[in-house]
């Protein structure tokens, strides 16, 4: 397969590469901090509450709130609001500020209504999403209560998503990506209070409700942290009179398909959670923890590539720069592919020692680690597809093509639901994750065909495929060798050596094979 050089013509190619790499580095750095705090939060949580029915109730409730959050806020806003704001900014008058105020008013009001509806219909929503909990006394009721406590989080995080989109449009990535760390810090703080004997009068049910309340309040902290940066960019939190001016509402409502499309990973996990609610206790927690681990490379690199690229892709589309669009799309997809491919191999090889090192503490038992590792192995097989799909959706929205992603993702979710029944019955929780991986690869194939048709970009010829695959295979073999050699030393030693060792082998092989696209990830330093 041909592996082409940079597609961005002319003397601006090097600057485009550097700009993309800087944006990726900033987002990845912030993401690394938030993910590290997230894993500390999850490890403390399962150490305190274990991996059984109580944790299942919390994670099922949180999954439901996450779907609303990604659908109403983060899912649509980054891919839809940024192109709209870019058009307003191009008018070089006060249009951008007026449009932002209109969007702020709409998102705040709409999120408040959705949050209130979630509280009122909490039991019905939980019954639909985790029907199997009805067979366990008190499980459905506790999950519904936790969902109601978490619902205010939806309002604040959706508002934060709007702030983040406006700041990303101004090419400010690091601090907005760091702000979600408030969630992990709040939960960690409460769990540490429990550890040191505070609130000892509460039973476990009361304590997990308190954790949910802290998580909910963290959204307000996140939103407030972004306000100063927003003001520096010239945006004000002025409510618009809906009777006079709510110009953003029609555009954002028309983008409803984008919300559903870009929340597909959460909807997919919700489908898996619904099936897992019929499995033995611990399945929902295993799915949540395995999804969190897989989200590490996805959030650090694939989502970062999509976020950094979106303003640039939208700007090039608005300027009619077709070649520049294709060139920048190549940068984003190359960066995603170069990380997702070795991540899939590495996670599959080291799944069990990683799960044991991260989670097997306190009340999280070896059998919980084994179940989590099994689900993680099958879910990791879809990593390259997850990354490709995220960038592809952003590219198509930058092109103004909303219908194709909607159709592809809808078919993916339908295929996922159909595959869950036979694969879940055969393999259990791991089978549910295999269904997610297979359906994601089917969607990736569809996106390849659509991108070629709409932009002339052919992933099979325009992306580096063969040499990174060889490098990933070498890294996987290195991880396997270190895993076997260090096995007797324990899971922490295996994780501490096998993971960075495999990463070092991978990047050494990329350099040896002269894969120039590696500089998109390293910032040009290796």
Helix axes 264-276, 122-129, angle to 10 degrees: 80
Neighbours of 207 (CB within 10 A): 19
Cα 409 to Cα 34, 394, 403: the distances in Å are: 28, 13, 10
Token pair belonging to 303: 């989502």
The rounded distance, in Å, linking the Cα atoms of 286 and 283 is: 5
Maximum distance among all Cα pairs of the chain, rounded to whole angstroms:
70
Among 292, 280, 361, 358, smallest CA distance to 52 is for: 280
Please give the full DSSP string across 151-219, using - where no structure is assigned. Answer: HHHHHHHHHHHHHHHHHHHTT--HHHHHTTHHHHHHHHHHHHHHHTTTTTTS-HHHHHHHHHHHHHHHH
- Bin 120: left if φ > 0, else alpha if -120 < ψ < 50, else beta: alpha
- pTM (predicted TM-score): 0.72
- The structural domains of the chain, with segments of one domain joined by +, span 16-463
Among 345, 298, 377, smallest CA distance to 468 is for: 345
> From first to last of its 526 residues, what are the pLDDT tens digits of the chain?
334 434 344 444 555 555 555 655 666 677 778 888 888 898 889 888 887 888 889 988 888 887 776 665 555 566 667 777 777 776 766 677 777 888 888 888 888 888 898 899 888 888 887 888 877 888 889 999 999 999 998 888 888 888 888 887 777 777 888 888 899 999 999 999 998 888 888 888 899 999 999 999 998 999 999 999 888 888 888 887 655 656 666 666 665 666 666 667 778 888 898 888 888 888 888 998 898 888 777 766 655 555 555 555 655 655 566 777 777 788 788 888 888 899 999 999 999 999 998 888 888 889 989 999 999 999 999 999 988 888 888 788 777 777 888 889 889 999 999 999 999 989 999 999 999 999 999 999 999 999 888 888 888 888 888 899 999 999 999 999 999 998 888 888 888 898 899 989 999 999 899 888 777 666 555 5
Say which DSSP state 238 is in. P
Cα 172 to Cα 66, 81, 266, 271: the distances in Å are: 25, 15, 26, 34
């Amino acid at each position: 397969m041909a592996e082409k050089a940079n597609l961005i013509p002319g003397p601006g190619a090097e600057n485009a590469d550097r700009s993309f790499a800087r944006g990726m580095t900033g987002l990845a750095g912030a993401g690394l901090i938030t993910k590290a705090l997230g894993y500390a939060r999850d490890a403390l949580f399962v150490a305190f509450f274990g991996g059984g029915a109580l944790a299942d109730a919390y994670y099922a409730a949180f999954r439901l709130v996450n779907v609303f959050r990604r659908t109403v806020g983060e899912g649509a806003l980054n891919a839809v609001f940024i192109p709209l704001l870019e058009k307003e900014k191009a008018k070089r008058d006060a249009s951008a500020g007026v449009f932002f105020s209109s969007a702020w008013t709409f998102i705040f009001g709409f999120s408040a209504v959705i949050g209130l509806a979630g509280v009122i219909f909490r039991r019905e929503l939980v019954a639909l999403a985790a029907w199997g909990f009805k067979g366990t006394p008190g499980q459905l009721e506790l999950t519904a209560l936790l969902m109601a406590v978490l619902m205010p989080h939806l309002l604040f995080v959706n508002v934060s998503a709007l702030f983040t989109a406006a700041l990303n449009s101004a090419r400010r990535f690091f601090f907005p990506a760091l702000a979600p760390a408030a969630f992990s810090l709040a939960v960690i703080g409460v769990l540490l209070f429990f550890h040191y004997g505070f609130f000892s009068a509460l039973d476990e049910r009361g304590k997990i409700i308190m954790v949910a309340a802290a998580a909910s309040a963290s959204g307000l902290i996140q939103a407030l942290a972004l306000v100063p940066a927003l003001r520096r960019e010239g945006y004000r939190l002025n409510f618009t009179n809906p009777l006079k001016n709510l110009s953003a509402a029609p555009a954002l409502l028309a983008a409803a398909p984008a919300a559903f499309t870009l929340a597909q990973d959460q909807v997919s996990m919700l489908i898996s959670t619904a099936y897992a609610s019929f499995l033995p206790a611990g399945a929902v927690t295993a799915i949540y923890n395995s999804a969190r681990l897989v989200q590490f490379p996805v959030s650090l690199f694939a989502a970062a590539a999509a976020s950094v690229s979106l303003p640039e892709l939208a700007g090039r589309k608005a300027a009619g720069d077709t070649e520049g669009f294709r060139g920048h799309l190549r940068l984003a997809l190359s960066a995603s592919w170069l990380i997702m491919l070795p991540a899939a191999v590495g996670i599959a090889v080291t799944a069990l020692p990683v799960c044991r090192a991260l989670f097997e503490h306190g009340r999280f038992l070896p059998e919980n680690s084994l179940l989590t590792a099994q689900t993680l192995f099958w879910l990791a097989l879809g990593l390259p597809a997850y990354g490709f799909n995220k960038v592809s959706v952003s590219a198509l929205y930058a092109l103004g093509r909303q219908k194709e992603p909607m159709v592809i993702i809808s078919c993916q979710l339908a295929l996922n639901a159909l595959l869950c029944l036979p694969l879940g019955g055969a393999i259990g929780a791991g089978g549910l994750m295999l269904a997610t991986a297979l359906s994601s690869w089917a969607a990736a194939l569809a996106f390849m065909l659509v991108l070629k048709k709409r932009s002339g970009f052919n992933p099979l010829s325009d992306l580096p495929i063969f040499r990174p695959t060889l490098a990933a295979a070498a890294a996987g073999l290195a991880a396997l060798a270190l895993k076997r050699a260090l096995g007797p030393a324990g899971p922490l030693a295996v994780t501490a050596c096998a993971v960075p060792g495999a990463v070092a082998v991978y990047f050494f092989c990329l350099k040896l094979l002269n894969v120039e696209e590696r500089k998109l990830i390293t910032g040009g330093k290796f």
